[in-house]
Amino acid sequence: MSIPERARPAPPGAASAAKAPRLLLRPLPGRSGVQATGEVSLATRAIWVGALEQAVREDEDVYHLELSAVTFVDVAGVDALVGAAQRLRAGRLIVVDRPPPAVPRLLELFWPGLRTIEVSKS
C-alpha cells in the first residue's frame, strides 16, 4: 500500500512575493515622459511618486504618462498625480495617455476643471 504524497507548503512569503504589485517605468522615445506597466497602489507608490517628481523637474512644456499597460490606479495614485500637476510651473502640462478608466473618472469627480492634466484616449 502506498502512502499518498502530501503537498508541501510554500515557504513563507513565496505566494505573496509572486503576486506582489509591480510598477515598471520606461522612458518614452522621442518625447518627454514615461511608459508605465503594472499598477499604481500603496505597494508601488514610491515608484509612482518618483516618476511624478521627474515630471515636475522636467523643462519640457508637456510631460507624457503613457498608461495603456497600467491595470489599476488607486485614489492615492491619482491624488499624487494631481499634486504633481499643481506644482508645475506656469504653462506646463501633464498628458495622461490611455489611462485605466478610473483615472479620468476620479479626475472629473474630485478635481473637475484641473487644467494642468490632459487625458488622451488615443
Mean pLDDT of 34-53: 97
Q: Which amino acid is at 103?
A: V
Beta strands 62-73 and 117-120 are: unpaired
CA-to-CA distance for 27 and 114, rounded, in angstroms? 25
Task: For the chain, list the domains and their CATH numbers.
Answer: 22-120 (3.30.750.24)
Check residues 88 and 19 and name the one with the higher pLDDT: 88
Instruction: Tell me the CA end-to-end span of the chain in Å, nearest whole number.
Output: 65
In tens, the pLDDT along 58-100 reads: 989 999 999 999 999 999 999 999 999 999 999 999 999 999 9
How confident is the model at residue 94, as a pLDDT? 98
Per-chain mean pLDDT for the chain? 89
How confident is the model at residue 19, as a pLDDT? 76
CA-to-CA distance for 30 and 38, rounded, in angstroms? 22
CA-to-CA distance for 64 and 119, rounded, in angstroms? 10
Mean pLDDT of 13-27: 76
